[in-house]
Every structure is written in structure tokens, then in C-alpha cells.
A = this chain, B = another copy of it.
Amino acid sequence: MGEGSQKSPVVLKFGGSSLATPERVRLVAERIARRQKQGDPVVAVVSAQGDTTDELLVRLHELAPDPPAREVDMLLATGEQQSAALVAATLGTLGVSAVSLTGWQAGIATDPSHRRARIHGIAPGRIRRLLAAGHVVVVAGFQGVNDLGDVTTLGRGGSDLTAVALAASLGGTCEIYSDVDGVYTADPRIVEDARRLSVIGYDEMMELAALGAQVLQGRAVEYAWQHDVEVQARSTFVDGPGTKVRPGTGTERVHPVTGAALDRTVARILCEQVPDRPGSAAHLFGALAQAPINVDVIVQSPSHLGRTDIAFTVADEDAPRAEEIARVAVERIGGGQVSRDADVAKVSLVGAGMLSRPGVASRAFQALAGAGINIIAITTSEIKISCLVRREDGPRGLQTLHKAFSLDED
């Protein structure tokens, strides 16, 4: 192998919105070309263009309302394959020799499952050879191949995971490009003086991703954390340093809190008069887990006459199904009414600094109370505090917490 192959490669990932029009594809190709001229071996990972994935699903569901997951993957994987070919061909017009690869050509092996497969391993031989020969390698994101030779997809946001996993396998770094120029202390559309973070910890980023910060996908951050991959979130269209995600940032932090988030796509399910005996909650949440439905904030009221109220939140889209499952489960264990409340929102604070500083929670509650915002439920983890509030209070709640913890100050 030549000298060039000694340098560790950089994996650049571009999302669907960055590729939505021919003009944008050209801008992406120019960015890739500039990066290669800086001397780094470059792998680009691309998503499907614009709304391609959704459009393919509409076409499929018109023909088959409940299609086999295997065929869904076979269909959806074409979106990223098209992007890869288009970007590689466009790079050619800029004098950059580029080769596109599908997931299977890139050696991305997954478990047998469809729609949300897990990456089992990567055989990077072909990518290494292409990089060593001076090519830019453009990989179709979001997809892999299982042991049967079937095409699998990695779930929504899976291209981030493709990029991080390739960076891990190649011993390189990863840059995730999108419309946004980094990770902010809160959504700038809601909090005017939100500040771009220059650095954030893996743990904090995972919490923020789970809370709806769409800059980086949670599973990708988790993979980066496990494999020590440095990830950077940057803007496709504006030059700038973006935000670096890496370990060990929390402990040296001045602020106990790194960022705040608002999730308005939650609903609350209330199960009344559940018998307060061992196994009740296990039965209820076991049924939901099997669905599978992700349950978030869980609040159980103090027992009264051997009965208790259990409330929990789920994603808006899962709420009708969750209510139905809960109703069946609660009836079986002899409980009372089950109801659903969509008029809620979740405001959260995230920060590895919380670990060493007690009192963050009480300061948050005081700030919300001072703004006249009622807290319906609370949940905390080592580095996160979430408060359930009325949906109309959500934006003001986020602004209040952002100010209370001086997140606008560097």
C-alpha cells in the first residue's frame, strides 16, 4: 500500500435533506472534493435523497398495507443506492475518482432481522483497497446484508450508524453533515439565545438524541462511544467547527447542565386503581415491552386501600396501541379505568455535571414553579431530569430552564 493509505480516513455522512436537489448534490460533491484535496482518504456515506424513503413506503403500502419486512428493506435500500451512484458520478465531473458501494459491497454484515438490523461486523477490505488506490468511496447508508444474503436496513437514522461503524472499522474519524451546524444547548427555533456547543460527551449526546435532538442518531452515538470513534456534527452548507462528541467532557464542566430539550410528541397513559401487589406492574409493562412499545416516564402514586394509579408516557404514534394494550393488561389484573392524555410535553435537562452536583433538580422545579408552570410528572437519570408539563407550557418551560441554568453563557 502507498503512503496515502497510512493516513487515517475520514468518514463524512450526508443526510437526505443535504441531497434533496441536484444543486445540493453538487454542493455535497464539492465539499467531499475539497476534503479529499486536504489529503485525507475520504469515505462518504449518503442517505436517500429528500423524501425518497417516505415516497417508496407510500407506493408500497398502496399495494401491500402490511408488507413483509424483508421486502420493505429490499425496496428502501434502493434510495441510498441511487444517492451513492449520483454522488459518485457527480464527483467524477469535479475530477475526483469515486466509486459507489452498496451496504453489501462495503462489507457491512448485520443480524438477520429486518427494518432495524444491528451491525454485526464490517469487512473493510474493499474500501481499504479503493482508498489506497486514491478513490473516494461513496457508501449507501442505512443498509447491510445478513448471513442469508438478504438486504437489511438499520432503521431510521441508520446512515449515521453506517458512518460511525465504518469509521470504527477503518480506524478513522466521523463527521455527520446536516442542515444544522452542530448541537445546541436547546432548539434555536424555540430558545433564541441557544448556544452551539463546541464539545459534548457521548453520554449527554445520547440523552439529547433520545430527547429528540435530530442532529445525531442515538444508536450511532452509542456505537461511537463503545468503539471510541470521534464524531463531529457539522453543517453541509456553512463552514464551521460544528460540535465534537467525545468522552470525558462532563467532569471538567463549569455548568452542571449541558443542554435542554423539549419533546412535544409524547402522550400520557393513566391506569387507575391497579391492585398494589407484586407482579402487577411487571404484567403491564411486560405486555407493552412485547408490543414492542417504548415506555418513558413512569409514575406510580402512593398506594391507597391496596390500589395505586400508574401513569406513563409513550410516543404520540404509539399511544392508541399502548392504551389498548394497557386496557387489556389492567383488566386482567383487576384494575380500573385506562385513559390517554395527549395534552402533555416533556422538558428535559441533560448534563454529565449533574452527577457531582446535587440540587439541579430542585433548582429546575423552582424555576418552572416561578414561571407558573405545573409539573405533572418527573423522572430522573444520573445525567437527565425530565418534567412532564401541559403541552402549551412546553416552549416556555424550555426557555425557563435554559435561562435558569445560564445555558446561553459560555
Contact = CB atoms under 8 A, between A and B. Distances in A.
Interface of A: 22, 25-26, 56, 59-60, 62-65, 67-68, 70-72, 74-75, 77-78, 81-82, 84-86, 88-90, 92-93, 99-100, 102, 105, 126, 149-151
23 contacts: A56-B82, A63-B86, A64-B89, A64-B92, A67-B92, A68-B88, A68-B92, A70-B99, A71-B85, A71-B86, A71-B88, A71-B92, A74-B81, A74-B102, A75-B81, A75-B86, A75-B89, A77-B81, A78-B78, A81-B81, A105-B149, A105-B150, A126-B149
A301 to B, nearest CB: 46
Given A59-B22, A99-B70, A64 B93 contact: yes
Contacts of A62: 22
Nearest to A76: B85
A103 to B, nearest CB: 12
One complex includes copies of this chain to the number of: 2
Contacts of A93: 63-65
Contacts of A64: 86, 89-90, 92-93
Given A22-B63, A63-B22, A92-B67, A74 B100 contact: yes
A78 B56 CA distance: 12
List the 8 shortest-distance A-B pairs measured between CB atoms, nearest first. Answer: A78-B78, A75-B85, A64-B89, A67-B89, A74-B85, A71-B89, A63-B90, A71-B85
A68 B84 CA distance: 13
Nearest to A75: B85
A375 to B, nearest CB: 46
Contact of A86 (B59, B85, B99, B149): B59
Contacts of A74: 81, 84-85, 88, 100, 102
Contacts of A78: 78, 81-82
Given A74-B84, A81-B74, A63 B25 contact: yes
Contact of A60 (B59, B75, B89): B89
A72 B62 CA distance: 29
B89 A82 contact: no
A62 B22 CA distance: 7
Given A22-B59, A25-B63, A82 B75 contact: yes
A60 B22 CA distance: 9
